[in-house]
Amino acid sequence: MTEMSPASSVGTSLQRLDGPAKVLGRAAYAFEQPLENAAYLHPLQATIARGTITRIDSTAAEATEGVIAVLTHRNASRLDDTEDRELAICQGADVAFRGELIGGVVAETQEIARHAASLVEIDYEEQPHDTRLEREDGEVYTPDSVNPTYDTDTDIGDVFAAIGEADVLVDETYKTPMEHNNPLEPHTSVAVWRPGGEGPTLTVYDSTQSVHGVRAVLARVFGLDTQVRVVSPYVGGGFGSKGRPHAHNVLAVLAAQLAGGRPVKLAVTRQQMFAVTGYRTPTISRLRLAADADGRLTALCHDAVEQTSRIKEFAEQTATCSRMMYAAPNRRTTHRLAALDVPVPSWMRAPGEAPGMYALESAVDELAHACGLDPIELRMRNEPDVDPESGKPWSGRHLVECLRTGAERFGWDARAGAGTRREGSWLVGLGVAASTYPAYTMPGSVAEIGYRDGRYAVRIGAADIGTGTWTALSQIAADALERPMEEIDLSIGDTDLPYATVEGGSSGIASWGSTVVAAARAFRDEHGKDPDQGAVTRAEMPEHPDRADYAAHSFGAVFVEARVHVDTREVRIPRMLGVFSAGRIVNPRTARSQLIGGMTFGLSMALFEESVLDHRFGHVVNHDLAQYHVPAHADIGDIEATWLDHPDEHANALGAKGIGEIGIVGTPAAVANAVHNATGIRVRDLPITPDKLLA
């Protein structure tokens, strides 16, 4: 970064700049945009898992007072690009999965639209379907790559020879279920279709993690080039599910084309989200860890099987962390997919890393137990000097320091043998797991800085999904310009602003912050410290000179205390501690919130979350928050998150690394390991429910 100003903003715990507007209800989210004469859309969804629509009778719906139009494949406009079959809705009579969007009702109110949608009669010709993921599924195949662009498989050394010669071998299978993103704000999209007039043909107010991403996709699908504007200043959470457009975005535009120029508002219901806005694919991971008598790994093999949809491939990078976490001379990782008649999976907070590290860190705990070693000692014995996958030096790892710091603060020395510690009616155990996440930066973002009347306008099409972007980017801009925060006017969340990459992969602040720093430097170089009125400078995020020479990741260690009731087998987590190394922390207040939120997310993954698919009919039966369990306040004990002060100048110009997802990555395994230490029972399929602890 540029030299810090005397009153440095970066590193201070400033309150959120957007906080008052949100608390007072003045922050207008997508669905709340004040638009005159708006109409409302309620989707029609398929009620079969696979087949063809043979009849649609919308007579009763169309006769309902207040109904403007009934959208189906019979009257929907033809899309310009149908290559992405998730988005190619209302283009024909085929049904690919239960819950697929097949139309909608546009009406004067939400209530009328929803009622009229229930009056539409639809008949189908059903076809046999398959929604069950099996490890030995005969239809599994090898994808070309895994998210985002990783090699599908890796094979170094002679893994199977090392396994055969191992002194100690762990060979176990770990499973994670289908899980659904449930941000507080459901997915919403408001479409305004006005061709031939002034301004854009299509304006969309959208709840999204990427306004420019939505614009690019909708422009392509509807053949509009750049005649699309997307606005999204505030977003009520996303967890990855709002990182890319889904079918509901297309449905809103199709409906707006039938609405005679009126804005059309669509709010996806909580139940509909379980079919149309993505989810974490279930995973089956077979881990084989071979070690010598001292606990040093001689081979590591991680084979992952996942599901995807028949109509669109999504290959999650479940085994990629196993390529770089520990030193092992022989390593093998594979990914296989089963294409099923299910909705399209997508990003969910720490996709790949969260389920993959649950499997790896559980297996490492089992190896420590088999070797008679403390789990922290085993990890330290297998600490790699350089990245095992690339051979590059670490930009900053510090995992051992995280483990040691956490062990001291958590009271790790009180840990007893598995199933031996009891306090009253509760079995007590301690568990630990390592955490990691790639330090992504995404090239291409552009920032503009302008000056007028003593104020600096900082413009970039970034997103704030509740993570603190409004505040953190303002802090970065203030320090880079060497001006107080009060002189910074930040604008984000609009495609009328310069291009910004997606708020995804924990890359937002690292990417956008580096871009703002570059723009500030360019502004000062061009205009000096006493700029003229109207001075403006734009700059793109520069390529960091060290980036290609170092392996850049965030690391951490999560410690958990678990208590299991001896009679009911209820699990409680009274204490959690996370110690992380994630580069420069821009705002400790919002960073702590992100890390604690991630750990809570991981606790939820370990103990509660499971989307139950009824394979007879192809739908998720627990598709609301009454049945799909996430933690309530009573489930959360004392959660503490802290970090090491190690800015990572090799990772990017800002020295910061992502913190949005690393909190979740190690937590499920830490919980499972703590439960094992409490009970002596190893649960290898999440979530850990009381019935699995009855042995």
Q: Which residues are catalytic?
A: 661
Q: Cα dist. 680→16, 295, 366, 471 in Å?
A: 45, 21, 11, 46
Q: In whole angstroms, give the CA distance from residue 69 to residue 262.
A: 12
Q: Where are the alpha helices (DSSP H) in 142-210?
A: 159-164
Strands (E), 138-241: 145-146, 150-151, 154-156, 168-176, 188-193, 202-206, 228-231
Q: In whole angstroms, give the CA distance from residue 326 to residue 376.
A: 13
DSSP state string for 53-122 = EEEEE-HHHHTSTTEEEEE-TTTSPPPS---STTT-TTSSSEE-STT-EEEEEEESSHHHHHHHHHH-EE
DSSP state of 179: B
Name the strands in the sheet holding 94-95, side by side, starting at the edge strand that comes first in the sequence: 94-95, 51-57, 121-126
3-state secondary structure of 309: strand
Contact between 677 and 562 (Cβ < 8 Å): yes
Paired tokens of 475? 């802090």
3-state secondary structure of 653: coil
Strands (E), 518-609: 536-540, 553-565, 571-581
Contact between 637 and 575 (Cβ < 8 Å): yes
Paired tokens of 117? 């949608």
Strands (E), 314-423: 330-340, 422-423
Q: In whole angstroms, give the CA distance from residue 446 to residue 459.
A: 9
Q: In whole angstroms, give the CA distance from residue 350 to residue 663.
A: 9
Determine the residue type at 61.
A
557 DSSP β-pair partners:
434, 579
